[in-house]
């Protein structure tokens, strides 16, 4: 089937999403069935406005350079499709003779690909729609991990590691440090910071994820115990953390177009700030600070994982290979092999769309304030070597 291909990027940017785009372009240029490759400027919204990049006309230097460029080169969109959008989309597909439809994004993005592909099938318009996974939250079903997650995890790990060294060395009074990660429905990024620890007493001491509700009294008790043992406490919290009654710790009331709660700066509220208030009231005389990175960790290319960049590129290439081979209505997935290497697979879009994969219960300890060994075993193959910092010894020398 000959025709044009179109690709778009949706949701938050990452340090590897452009590597997936490079994979799509490079593979599409090799396929005789694809007559031209177009890029949606600002996702499905740009598509409906017929706002396209001519990706076939990009220089080899630009295509290669995308593999080493963060952010989202095509822009992004969080538009939720409504019924009136579909006839418009079909008309544009026909106008440009677009037969290959690719979107790079998370579960909401997979919903867009799924609905467009299904509508075209119902209208007897032959279109092959493939989803390419991307989300730093790591909450997509059907894939061992999502491109973008390992690099964002590494960025968070380094932040917590270095902030921990700073807090350890600078403390004069009881001190607490709160670090907030992205993670709307799942705590993968918060949990990943456990890899910052190399020995007893290293940051982070406590980790709280959305999969387990926060009990303030227990958190205060845990924090006091850490301060007793180490003289300070490092706490990592996910932005989606909830109390036992289901209300957000951030107190955010804002919703996006997909009815997802918006946290952090976008929501005008913050888990880290509210946890800081709880501990300030409970820990008399203690000094506390909080750190919120938001999108900084999503596109920190200097902290990207080489394996993550490579798999993102391969996912883009695999999407084109599948589509040109006759496959449609699937998302490319990453499979973990017994030797902890990774290979590619596929999952039905209907099984992936608008669903968030929480961390398995066994990945969180019984008290709900840290991760388990099972989680560390899952994470270790995803993160390359980390810096090794030291502390001075023999403090009490006197003449």
pLDDT values of the chain reduced to their tens digit, one per residue, 399 residues = 999 999 999 999 999 999 999 999 999 999 999 999 999 999 999 999 999 999 999 999 999 999 999 999 999 998 999 999 999 999 999 999 999 999 999 999 999 999 999 999 999 999 999 999 999 999 999 999 999 999 999 999 999 999 999 999 998 888 999 999 998 889 999 999 999 999 999 999 999 999 999 999 999 999 999 999 999 999 999 999 999 999 999 985 454 455 455 554 444 468 999 999 999 999 988 999 999 987 888 989 999 999 999 999 999 999 999 999 999 999 999 999 999 999 999 999 999 998 889 999 999 999 999 999 999 999 999 999 999 999 998 777 778
Between vectors from CA 319 to CA 314 and to CA 322, what angle results, nearest 5°? 120
Give the DSSP H/E element, type plus range, for residue 221.
helix 216-230
Query: Which residues does residue 214 pair with via DSSP β-bridges, in sequence order?
Result: 243
Alpha carbon distance 204, 134 (integer Å): 27
For domain 3-147+302-352, the CATH architecture is 3-Layer(aba) Sandwich (3.40)
Going by the annotation, the residues of the binding site for Mg(2+) are: 107
What order of strands is seen across the sheet that includes strand 232-238?
A: 206-208, 232-238, 175-181, 287-292
pLDDT at position 269, please?
62
Q: How far is CA 48 from CA 44, 93, 105, 361, in A?
A: 6, 10, 18, 42
pLDDT at position 85, please?
98
pLDDT at position 266, please?
45
Q: How far is CA 324 from CA 15, 102, 130, 188, 317, in A?
A: 27, 12, 11, 34, 11
397 token code pair: 């020398």
pLDDT at position 399, please?
83
pLDDT at position 295, please?
81
Q: What is the pTM of this model?
A: 0.93
DSSP 337: -
Among 367, 369, 219, 238, residue whose Cα is nearest residue 283: 219
Q: Note the residue count of the chain.
A: 399
Alpha carbon distance 399, 397 (integer Å): 7
For the chain, what are the domain ranges? Answer: 3-147+302-352, 149-300+358-382
Query: Which own/partner pairs from 254-257 qualify as long-range (CB within 8 Å, at least 24 positions apart)?
Result: 256/78, 257/78, 257/79, 257/80
Per residue in 212-239, pLDDT (tens digit) is: 999 999 999 999 999 999 999 999 999 9
Alpha carbon distance 117, 111 (integer Å): 10
Q: Do domains 3-147+302-352 and 149-300+358-382 have the same CATH topology?
A: yes
pLDDT at position 268, please?
46
Alpha carbon distance 116, 183 (integer Å): 27
Among 129, 125, 97, residue whose Cα is nearest residue 112: 129
pLDDT at position 265, please?
47
Q: What is the CATH number of domain 149-300+358-382?
A: 3.40.50.460
Please return the burial class of 199, using the count of CB atoms within 10 Å of its CB with bins 0-12, 13-18 and 19+. exposed
- By annotation, the residues acting in catalysis are 137
Q: How many CB atoms lie within 10 A of CB 261?
A: 19
Going by the annotation, the residues of the binding site are: 12, 107, 135-137, 239
Among 305, 381, 306, residue whose Cα is nearest residue 342: 381
Going by the annotation, the residues of the binding site for diphosphate are: 12
Alpha carbon distance 14, 71 (integer Å): 6
**Taking the alpha carbons of 81, 254, 77, 344 in that order, is the dihedral positive or negative?**
negative
**Cβ atoms 382, 195 nearer than 8 A:** no
pLDDT at position 252, please?
55
pLDDT at position 73, please?
98
Please return the burial class of 181, using the count of CB atoms within 10 Å of its CB with bins 0-12, 13-18 and 19+. buried
């Amino acid at each position: 089937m000959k025709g044009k291909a179109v690709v778009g990027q949706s949701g938050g940017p990452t340090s590897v999403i452009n590597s997936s785009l490079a994979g799509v372009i490079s593979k599409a240029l090799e396929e005789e069935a694809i007559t031209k490759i177009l890029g949606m400027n600002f996702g499905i919204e740009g598509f409906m406005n017929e706002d396209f990049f001519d990706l076939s006309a990009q220089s080899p230097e630009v295509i290669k350079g995308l593999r080493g460029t963060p952010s989202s080169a095509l822009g992004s969109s969080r538009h939720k499709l409504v019924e009136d959008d579909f006839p418009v989309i079909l008309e544009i597909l026909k106008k440009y003779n677009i037969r290959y439809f690719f979107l790079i994004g998370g579960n909401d993005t997979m919903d867009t690909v799924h609905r467009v592909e299904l509508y075209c099938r119902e209208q007897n318009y032959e279109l092959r729609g493939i989803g390419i996974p991307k989300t730093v939250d790591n909450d997509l079903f059907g894939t061992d991990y999502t491109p973008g997650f390992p690099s964002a995890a590494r960025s968070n790990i380094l932040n917590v590691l270095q902030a921990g060294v700073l807090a350890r060395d600078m403390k004069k009074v009881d001190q607490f440090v709160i670090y907030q990660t992205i993670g709307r429905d799942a705590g993968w990024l918060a949990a990943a910071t456990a890899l910052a620890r190399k020995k007893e007493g290293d940051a982070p001491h406590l980790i709280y994820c959305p999969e387990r509700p926060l009990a303030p009294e227990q958190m205060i008790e845990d924090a006091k115990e850490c301060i007793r043992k180490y003289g300070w406490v490092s706490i990592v919290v996910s932005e989606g953390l909830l109390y036992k009654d289901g209300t957000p710790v951030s107190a955010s009331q804002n919703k996006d177009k997909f009815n997802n709660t918006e946290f952090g700066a976008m929501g005008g509220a913050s888990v880290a700030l509210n946890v800081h208030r709880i501990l300030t009231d409970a820990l008399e005389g203690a000094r506390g600070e909080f750190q919120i990175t938001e999108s900084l960790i999503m596109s920190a290319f200097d902290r990207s994982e080489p394996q993550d960049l490579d798999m993102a590129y391969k996912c883009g290439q695999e999407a084109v290979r599948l589509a040109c081979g006759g496959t449609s209505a699937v998302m490319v997935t990453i499979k973990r092999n017994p030797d902890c290497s990774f290979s590619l697979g596929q999952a039905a879009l209907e099984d992936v769309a608008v669903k968030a994969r929480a961390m398995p219960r066994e990945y969180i300890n019984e008290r709900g304030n840290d991760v388990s060994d099972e989680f560390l075993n899952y994470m270790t193959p995803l993160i390359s070597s980390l810096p090794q910092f030291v502390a001075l010894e023999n403090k009490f020398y006197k003449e």
